[in-house]
Amino acid sequence: MLAQIPQNFEKLPKDQLNREILRVGMIAELDAVNLYEQMAAMTDDRKIKKILMDIAREEKTHVGEFETMLLQLDSEQVKELEKGKKEVEEMAD
């Protein structure tokens, strides 16, 4: 299932708008990863599967590009990602 992209950005201040644009980009790329990986799982054609998985990997790179930009603009996101990482590490112990 593809994500629903928010439509009403007009009232956001510019700094928030830019963060939301980056988040929407991440959502779109993650949707693409899911789609390509699901299609790869459905096909029995080795060449199609290989191409789809290669494209999915490229989309993951795009997620990383959007995330890198977002982390430059949103210090709260940086803190919360680190907090989440620590919580997972604590649960794994």
* Mean pLDDT per 10-residue section of the chain, whose length is 93 residues: 70 86 94 97 98 98 98 96 95 85
- Which residues, 6+ apart, have CB-to-CB distance to 63 below 8 Å? 26, 29, 30, 33
SS3 content of the chain, % helix, strand, coil (to 5): 80, 0, 20
Tell me the whole-structure pTM to 2 decimals: 0.84
pLDDT at 26: 96
pLDDT at 2: 66
Kindly calculate the radius of gyration of the chain based on its CA atoms and give it in whole angstroms: 17
Q: How is residue 59 written in tokens? A: 């989309």
In degrees to the nearest 10, what's the CA dihedral of 36, 53, 51, 55?
A: 70
